[in-house]
């Protein structure tokens, strides 16, 4: 039955070919004799991105054609139940179905959600030892970057992350053809940004008719909770877990602590423990549902005793699945900015000024450990009080750390702000994202 299922997967792919796709910008790292892992949120486009890699290799002449691509997904009742010792049947079936291929022939193996198979690491390492074969592993668990990768895979894999669409990718999906520098292009980009902010960045949601979008976002949330948390970790009290996640989605871009999450569940009538709440928070990050940002400090203890700020992998997913929503997109805008920064910086923090403990939304740290960019997010700068509240801590951080670039990202406003001799640009989000 296993061999027949693998044969069916290969035959179906050859009949259908590589599906039509809109190219993504996220780089995928390939290295000889190393496993390439593509990780990211469920439905963010990992499988399409891996097939884009194969398509690029064909276009470059590094791969003859699609018959040299072997895609196998383990989100399947038959293949998902395999033992690690049975995985070797994949290349056997592939070579049997492809007489023109042998061990010296270029090929790409795309193994989707293989981390569901206990002990999969040894198999993909062995497969990647052939210098003519590329091995791409995709998965929706961030633990592919940490716990679920056995020690033996460390140093033998290179990882790439696929997020939901950037604004540039969103414009491509929506068929944007103008120059962003032209008057027409700027007007159209600003108009499309409103849709991006309202409905988020999941590829299928972007392409769906509006009545279907909310249903998709609710379905994505339910699936992530059920399959990536409740079933994966055998959660004994799923209602507690779901209640906490909906509460956090209602509070994206706001401070939270383990204690505040625990108190919320207790006040909602759920008998729980701090250890359980700690697990729920960790599992949400492992499932790419939520991400947390600590305070900027060189002290681990200070990071641990201060609050974190929570963000969702997609701001529209948060808005459409939260317990409460005020109808504005102010915090969704901050979440959107967070994800844009996350694509470029591995280390993101918020900062509290030393004297008045005023908050800077984001401090981005470069690969030398230096603060490289400070960002404040503010929908509306029309009031002097708002300008004071947002710009004063930003200017203080710039002076204290010597940060070379600082910006206030707004909904629509563009101006130059000055505070205590420090000039800071306020830029509309759509323009900053481009």
**Do 154 and 170 share a domain, yes or no?**
no
Q: What is the spatial distance between Cα 163 and Cα 140, in angstroms, rounded to a whole number?
A: 11
Residue 57 maps to a domain: yes
**Do 267 and 361 share a domain, yes or no?**
no
**Do 143 and 268 share a domain, yes or no?**
no
Alpha helices, DSSP H, located in 46-88:
46-59
Residue 87 maps to a domain: yes
- Last residue of some domain: 146, 162, 178? 162
The arithmetic mean of pLDDT across residues 46-55, rounded, is 95
**pLDDT value, residue 143:** 62
Question: What's the token pair of residue 13?
Answer: 């792919």
**Do 152 and 208 share a domain, yes or no?**
no
Q: What is the spatial distance between Cα 15 and Cα 310, in angstroms, rounded to a whole number?
A: 44
**Do 153 and 193 share a domain, yes or no?**
no
**pLDDT value, residue 142:** 63
Cβ pair 295, 352 in contact under 8 A = yes
Range of the domain at 59: 2-162
**pLDDT value, residue 414:** 95
- The residues, any chain, with a CB within 8 Å of residue 9's CB and separated by 6 or more, are 71, 72, 73, 79
**Do 269 and 353 share a domain, yes or no?**
no
- Last residue of some domain: 124, 140, 162? 162
Residue 17 maps to a domain: yes
Residue 293 maps to a domain: yes
Pairing of strands 406-410, 422-428: parallel
**Do 7 and 155 share a domain, yes or no?**
yes
**pLDDT value, residue 180:** 83
Question: Residue 174: which CATH number?
Answer: 1.10.10.10
What confidence tier does 76 reach under pLDDT thresholds 50, 70, 90? confident
Pairing of strands 35-40, 157-162: parallel
Q: What DSSP state is assigned to residue 306?
A: S
Distances from the Cα of 39 to the Cαs of 43, 48, 242, in angstroms? 11, 12, 24
**pLDDT value, residue 151:** 58
What confidence tier does 181 reach under pLDDT thresholds 50, 70, 90? confident
Residue 338 maps to a domain: no
**Do 180 and 308 share a domain, yes or no?**
yes
- Last residue of some domain: 127, 144, 162? 162
**Do 21 and 88 share a domain, yes or no?**
yes
Q: What is the spatial distance between Cα 106 and Cα 68, in angstroms, rounded to a whole number?
A: 7
**Do 274 and 156 share a domain, yes or no?**
no
**Do 318 and 188 share a domain, yes or no?**
yes
Distances from the Cα of 410 to the Cαs of 190, 327, 329, 388, in angstroms? 12, 18, 12, 15
What is the count of structural domains for the chain?
A: 3
Does the pLDDT of residue 96 top 60, yes or no? yes
Residue 334 maps to a domain: no
Question: What's the token pair of residue 78?
Answer: 């038959």
Phi/psi-derived region of residue 87, left when phi > 0, alpha when psi is between -120 and 50, beta in every other case? alpha
Residue 339 maps to a domain: no
Residue 409 maps to a domain: yes
């Amino acid at each position: 039955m296993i061999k027949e299922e693998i044969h069916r997967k290969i035959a179906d792919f050859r009949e259908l070919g590589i599906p039509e796709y809109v190219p993504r910008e996220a780089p995928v790292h390939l290295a000889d004799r190393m496993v390439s892992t593509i990780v990211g949120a469920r439905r963010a486009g990992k499988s399409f991105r891996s097939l884009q890699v194969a398509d690029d290799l064909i276009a470059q002449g590094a791969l003859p054609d699609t018959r040299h691509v072997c895609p196998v997904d383990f989100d399947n009742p038959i293949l998902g139940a395999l033992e690690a010792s049975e995985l070797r049947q994949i290349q056997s079936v592939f070579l049997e179905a492809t007489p023109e291929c042998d061990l010296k022939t270029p090929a790409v193996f795309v193994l989707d959600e293989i981390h569901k198979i206990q002990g999969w690491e040894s198999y993909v390492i062995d497969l990647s030892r052939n210098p003519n074969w590329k091995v791409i592993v995709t998965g929706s668990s961030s633990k592919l970057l940490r716990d679920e990768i056995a020690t033996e895979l460390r140093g033998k894999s290179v990882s790439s992350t696929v997020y939901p669409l950037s604004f540039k990718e969103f414009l491509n999906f929506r068929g944007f053809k103008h120059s962003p520098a032209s008057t027409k292009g700027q007007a159209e980009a600003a108009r499309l940004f409103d849709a991006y902010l309202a409905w988020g960045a999941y590829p299928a949601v972007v392409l769906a008719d509006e009545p279907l979008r909310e249903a998709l976002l609710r379905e994505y949330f339910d699936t992530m909770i059920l399959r990536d948390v409740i079933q994966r970790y055998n959660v004994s009290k799923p209602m507690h877990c779901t209640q906490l996640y909906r509460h956090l989605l209602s509070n994206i871009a706001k401070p939270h602590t383990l204690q505040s999450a625990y108190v919320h569940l207790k006040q909602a009538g759920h008998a729980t423990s701090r250890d359980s709440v700690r697990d729920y928070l960790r599992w949400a990050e492992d499932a790419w549902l939520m991400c947390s940002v600590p305070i900027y400090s060189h002290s681990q203890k200070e990071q641990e005793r201060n609050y974190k700020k929570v963000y969702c992998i997609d701001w529209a997913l948060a808005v459409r699945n939260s317990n409460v929503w005020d109808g504005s997109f102010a915090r969704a805008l901050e979440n959107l900015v967070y994800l844009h920064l996350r694509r470029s910086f591995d280390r993101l923090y918020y900062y509290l000024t030393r004297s008045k403990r005023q908050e800077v939304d984001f401090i981005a740290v470069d690969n030398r450990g230096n603060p490289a960019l400070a960002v404040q997010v503010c929908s509306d700068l029309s009031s002097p009080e708002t300008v004071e509240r947002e710009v004063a801590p930003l200017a203080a951080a710039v002076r204290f750390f010597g940060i070379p670039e600082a910006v206030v990202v707004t909904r629509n406003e563009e101006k130059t702000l000055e505070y205590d001799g420090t000039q800071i640009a306020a830029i509309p989000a759509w323009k900053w994202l481009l």
